[in-house]
Each structure stands twice: as C-alpha cells, then as structure tokens.
Amino acid sequence: MALVADGVSRLLIDGKLTSGGAGGFATVNPATEEVLGEAANADAADMDRAIGAARRAFDETDWSTNTELRVRCVRQLRDAMLEHVEELRDLTIADVGAPRMLTAGAQLEGPINDLSFVADTAENYEWTRDLGQASPMGIPTRRSVVREAVGVVGAITPWNFPHQINLAKLGPALAAGNTVVLKPAPDTPWVAAVLGELIAANTDIPPGVVNIVTSTDHALGAMLAKDPRVDMVSFTGSTATGRSVMADAAATIKKVFLELGGKSAFLVLDDADLAAACSVAGFSVCLHAGQGCAITTRLVVPRARYDEAVAIAARTMGSIKPGDPSKPGTICGPVISARQRDRVQSYLDLAITEGGEFACGGGRPADQPAGFFIEPTVIAGLTNEARVAREEIFGPVLTVIPHDGDDDAVRIANDSPYGLSATVYGADAERAAGVAARLRAGTVNVNGGVWYSADVPFGGYKQSGNGREMGVAGFEEYLEIKAIATAAN
C-alpha cells in the first residue's frame, strides 16, 4: 500500500474514501514552495454526512460498549502506522516542513507509540466503581459510578504538530467509546488523510466511527461546534479561534476541550549556569522554527547579567541556520506558509517599532531564495509590556527580558494572558522547585526535566485553554460520569 499513491488524498466518511464536494486543493511543501499534490476539499454537505455517520455509528452499533473491539482497533491503527512509518516520515517532512530529527519524537513516532498507552488505559480502566451500600434519606441503596463515552466528538486540529495532536484526540476519544469527526488544518491535510487510508485498509473500525474531513472552508469547523448531533468539541489552535469555538458550542451546551496559545517563560535564576541555560533556551526556540505552543519564547534573566545572556542566546541561535528539513542535521526548518512567514515578519518589524533591537536574525535568510524561512531571531531591549513579549508569534523568535530576583521573575512569567508552559533553571534544586511551584502554568520543566510523555497530562491555565490532553486525565476528557442508585431490599 502506497500512501497518497496518486498524489490525491481523499475524505473518509462512513467507512468510504471519497472525493470532496468542493473538488480539491493544492498541498504545498513549505520548504520548497512546490506543489506536492492535491487534497480532497470537503463542502458543507460532506461535513453533514460525516456528522450523520458518526451519530448513527454511536447510536446504532455496540462501539461505545465493546471495549475489547475498541482496544483491538486502536492497536491495529498503531501497528499500521508503524508498518508504514518510513512513508509517513517522508510525508510528514514534505507536508509539515518538520525537520527529520523531530519525526523520531513528537512529529511522528512519539504519538504513534502513545497509542499503546491509550489502548492499555482503556483495557484496564475501572469503567464501573462500586460505592457500596448506604442509606441516604433512610433508604437502603447500592450505589455505583459508571464512566461512559460522551458520544460524537468533533476534533479540530492545527498544522504545527499534526500527528501528535490528531492522535492525542483520536486515540483517547475512540478508546473511550466515542465516534469522531476529525477536521484537520488545511495547511497539512495529507498527514490527516492518510489516517483514513490506514483505518479503512488495516483496522476493524466500523463505518462511521471515524470520519476525516479535509477542507479549506473554516466554516466546517464551526459546523461541528454548532451541530446538536455533536456532543463534544475538542479543539487545539489559537486562543482567538478557541473563543469562537466556545461561543458556537454554547448554543447546545456541549462539552468543550480547548488547548490554545502560549507565551511561555524560561526563567534563569541568579545562581544558574547562565551559559547552559541561555544556550538551551536559544536552541529550543529554533526547533521546528518555533512553531510550538509550549515553546518558551520569553527568556527572563538576571538584570545584572542581561547583556551576557543576550550574547549567549544570540550566539546559539545565530549558529542555527534554517534549512532543508529532510536533512538529518536540520533543526530549524520553514514556517508552514507564506502567510505565517509574513505574520512572523510583521512581529519582527513591530519589535523595532517598540524600541527593541535584534541581537541576531530579524528577517528572511539570504541563502534560502525559496521556502517559507525566517532567521532565528533574538530580540533585546524590551520589557514584558511589549506586544512581542505578550503575543504568540509562532516563529523562531526569542525575547530576552531582565528580572530583579526570584519574586520579580515569577511576576514577569505570570504576567501573561497565557499559562501553558514554563522552564526554571537554577543551581539550588530546592529553590528552583519553589519558583516552579509559584508559576501559573500547566507544565513546568526544571533544570532540563522533560514533561512530554504519554502518561503526563498536557494543557494550560488562563487563556491557554481548559481541560487536559494525554495521560489518564486526557482519556477521561472523553467520558461522562453516571451515578446509578439501586434500592437494596
């Protein structure tokens, strides 16, 4: 089986691979600007059929109650992806612009292997808990708490880590007993569409349980949020779009999971190894051209060593050259599109307007005439009040901000509408842990610790969203709780 063999991907609706009602749209390689092929372009009628298929599959089959079938199907999907992993790797590099090195982790192999955790969780989950007998209001009663599927899940996903996010929604939702309509970002349609091919050819997933609808029409996502046949919307993307999803879902009071933006802080305490900390900060913001919501894009350093910190970060980032993501050594590939490149550039221009300066970078690399590339850039001379220090840029851009001690560093880190992630570096482990405990963020890395793992919940505070993805908490997002009380005579 060759994935997207004819250069044209298809929709998966009600168990069938079909073309889109609106024809097709071009899939573009962001590193070369070359057209890779075509993706099916769904229209509103296609989305309506997909929602209807998911509703029927949930209401009329035993999918929601047959745990053994669900576990087997999730493992079949995992095995099919592993069997085709090299094809998927090449497809991901071309469709996403993801550096090859990242496909060994969160861009491909990590989320595939994470399906094992999801299947194991469903297989061993305590679906019914016996609370024993009691006599509320004097009536002998045996009580139990049952966990069961929410119903039809509309999953809306972005383009930056599509395998990670598609599977972090699809895997738990299916394992929990839901049916799903997946609406991926139009920037990376192929990596979602191939899931439909693999599901249709390699799994026992019944028709209608999974529907994958690629489209350039963003209104189709709004259909998922508004349609009363959909019981839950799981959305990852910008905070602005998250607000719209929440507003659209409010009409039917459906359950909403949101994983949104971030402007995460990297705090360097005054006893830390400054060179090591600032080098790590500079390196991490270059990964996948900074296109990660949890990447720490504010480097908060002791004021007395500010110039030194800027120089270290600039030396690190200036040595990382944007390049061909298919090459093994590439760290910083392209951003996803010309639109995104122009958006990042507008923030770089704004940084100068706001009074900042570039310690390195600041524009498009001269040695890359094609592709949507941006130089890794260090911005100095601004405070946390600057827009480039407060708004999510989604590019390889690091803003360096001075602090006046631990309390001030925490204040700066928390002075943000977001609260997705953070990092703390300090020689005194207890002191660093104490600072980490005061941060209003969903994930915190202390001195290089790694929180990304299948069993660790991921999500944020404040306008970074609500709910958690991954871990048991992520699995339980897709469950309802039912209490059953039976008279004990």
- How high is the pLDDT of residue 6? 86
H-only helix segments in 325-427:
338-353, 387-390, 406-414
Given a cut of 70, the residues of the chain with pLDDT beneath it are 1
Sign of CA dihedral 248, 250, 251, 252: positive
- How high is the pLDDT of residue 2? 72
> If we measure between CA atoms, which residue out of 302, 286, 306, 340 comes closest to residue 28?
340
Contact between residue 49 and residue 56 where contact means Cβ atoms under 8 Å apart:
no
Report the phi/psi class of residue 68: left, alpha or beta, with left for phi > 0 and alpha for psi in -120 to 50. alpha
Return phi, psi of residue 366, to 5°. -65, -25
Q: What amino acid is encoded at 151 in this protein?
A: G
Where in the chain is CATH 3.40.309.10?
265-446
**What are the tens digits of pLDDT across the range 130-169?**
999 999 999 999 999 999 999 999 999 999 999 999 999 9
Residues recognised as catalytic = 259, 293
CATH architecture of 8-261+464-486: 3-Layer(aba) Sandwich (3.40)
Where in the chain is CATH 3.40.605.10?
8-261+464-486
Residues in the chain: 489
- How high is the pLDDT of residue 1? 63
Class of domain 265-446: alpha beta
